[in-house]
Amino acid sequence: MYANGKVALVTGAAQGIGRAMVEELLNKGAALAMVDQNRIAGEQCKASLDEKFGSNRTLFIQCDVTDQEQLRDAFQRTVKHFGRLDILVNNAGVNNEKDWEKTIEVNLISVIRGTYIGLELMNKKNGGQGGVIINISSLAGLTPAAYQPVYSASKHGVIGFTRSIAAMASIGNYGVRVNTVCPAFVDTPLLESIDKEENMGEYFQYKDNIKDMMKLFGILDPSLIAQGLVRLIEDETANGAVMKITTSRGIHFEEFSAQQRTKV
Ligand SMILES: NC(=O)C1=CN([C@@H]2O[C@H](COP(=O)(O)OP(=O)(O)OC[C@H]3O[C@@H](n4cnc5c(N)ncnc54)[C@H](O)[C@@H]3O)[C@@H](O)[C@H]2O)C=CC1
Ligand SMILES: CCCCC/C=C\C=C\C(=O)C/C=C\C/C=C\CCCC(=O)O
């Protein structure tokens, strides 16, 4: 699918990776809803993008993705405003080991809920027109992360859910592809959470170990993650794919053994 002329909804769109994805989708000719709980950052982001792309290409919707009613309303407003939905990016995420239940709510439960609402609207079996869903995980969803155990668990969950629902979408002929992106460290405000005790909790004492990892592996520019997103949107064969993005190897894919590919 080409993004040109399509309608997208991106969560966590006001800054960081979400904002970079919004800009890339606008460059490719899409219109989109920018969903974020941060009204000030969201409105500033829209105002700045309006200067380049015009005000009718984006709609900012303030929404806490963990609030079921707000999330459903954001989808309804998007379809009402633009007339359809073709591309969904469940990107909003947090790093909070102290309030770890919140991390599961934002990073995993809201991604699952968003995927189900997106499928209700796009599934050809429900009268939808098909589409593509991309759920943002992390390399910490494929490896242990000693100082971020719940963040890592939430991102492992995103990969397991995405691969499973992608298999179901294929079996059920939904006409919707579902894929995930797993970046290494990316230069966004999320990295600042490592310096905050209120985010790191008991792992705060290890913040320098994480900073050493960042020095060792390097930090990606958000624009590369946006390029990976577009590749998954355009590649009609990609379903259940786990895209990894690192400084050493750029955009590449996790390869699973035959056993790991077996559907149960
Ligand atoms: N920055 C990094 O190094 C990496 C980030 N990721 C993932 O990429 C995604 C985006 O992260 P970044 O752009 O780095 O983070 P960020 O903190 O820069 O931006 C996240 C955005 O999500 C919004 N958000 C947070 N909770 C929300 C909620 N409950 N409802 C609505 N909006 C909410 C924030 O207001 C913010 O605008 C996250 O899922 C993150 O886990 C994955 C790998 C690496
Ligand atoms: C693992 C620390 C997470 C700190 C939370 C803040 C930001 C989140 C970042 C990520 O999601 C990145 C996750 C993992 C990076 C881990 C290893 C990088 C290895 C890179 C490589 O192999 O090249």
The residue type at 90: N
Residues lining ligand 1, judged by CB closer than 6 Å? 11-12, 14-18, 36-38, 41, 63-66, 91-94, 106, 136, 138, 183, 185-186, 188-191
248 lines ligand 2 (CB under 6 A): yes
- The closest-lying atom of ligand 2 relative to the alpha carbon of residue 95 is 5
Integer CA distances (angstroms), 110 to 26, 70, 118, 209, 216, in order: 25, 11, 12, 30, 32
What residue has token string 């105002």?
A: 47
pTM of the predicted protein model: 0.98
Which ligand places an atom closest to the C-alpha of 246?
Answer: 2
Q: What is the full per-residue pLDDT of the chain (264 aa) written as tens digits?
A: 999 999 999 999 999 999 999 999 999 999 999 999 999 999 999 999 999 999 999 999 999 999 999 999 999 999 999 999 999 999 999 999 999 999 999 999 999 999 999 999 999 999 999 999 999 999 999 999 999 999 999 999 999 999 999 999 999 999 999 999 999 999 999 999 999 999 999 999 999 999 999 999 999 999 999 999 999 999 999 999 999 999 999 999 999 999 999 888
Q: Atom 6, ligand 1: which residue's CA is nearest?
A: 138
In the annotation, is 206 catalytic?
A: no
What ipTM was predicted for this assembly? 0.98
Tell me, rounded to whole angstroms, the distance of Cα 29 from its chain centroid.
Answer: 20
